[in-house]
Amino acid sequence: MKVKQLLALANECCTQVDADKVLETMLHEISSCRPLRELHVLNQEAWLEHPNKPFLRFELVLQYTDSYAMAIKPEIRSGGLCIALRLDCFLDGNGLASKNWKNALGDEDEYLEVTDEQTFNELAAQAKKKAIEMHAQLIESVGVPARAALQAAKNAWPVTRRTSKS
């Protein structure tokens, strides 16, 4: 499925039931892509901001340790799709149950460029690549050489098996 097809479905939302169905579709299309298949789905939300303008979002999370996790956050709002990425540092070491965290790489999330013609497989590959780059940046910040940091970040990403949908 291409981004424009999902956005067309979103623009037809008239009820909360419609918004929930589009969120289900978005969740399936993105989370079933091979690069993101092993990540945990959290914080699903769907509601109508205005007629035919749903707000839909969820997070795909890869917890590296009890201190760090990567969140890939697709969101439809105002008729468009954006995908933010954030590397969180859990200050209390409680992982996803943490009540105290911060962005490990600064104040702002990173965003992918999304076009209407992209497929979700393309977006998933782009998100994985960006997440690995961000993780490598964190590893480098503690003095690890760039090449070793990139390899460590790649090795931290879950290996997924091929299926007929890949």
Contact 85, 73 (CB under 8 A): yes
Residue spans of beta strands (DSSP E) within the chain: 40-50, 53-63, 68-77, 80-90, 101-103, 110-112
Fill in the DSSP letter of residue 118. -
Contact 9, 22 (CB under 8 A): yes
pLDDT tops 80 at residue 97: yes
86's tokens: 């954030």
Higher pLDDT residue, 140 or 164? 140
pLDDT tops 60 at residue 52: yes
Q: Averaged over 82-95, what is the pLDDT? A: 95
pTM: 0.91
Please provide residue 142's backbone torsions phi and psi, each rounded to the nearest 5 degrees. -105, 15
- Confidence (pLDDT) at 4: 97
Give the chain's mean pLDDT.
Answer: 93
115's tokens: 């076009």
Q: Is the dihedral of CA 153, 154, 160, 164 positive or negative?
A: positive
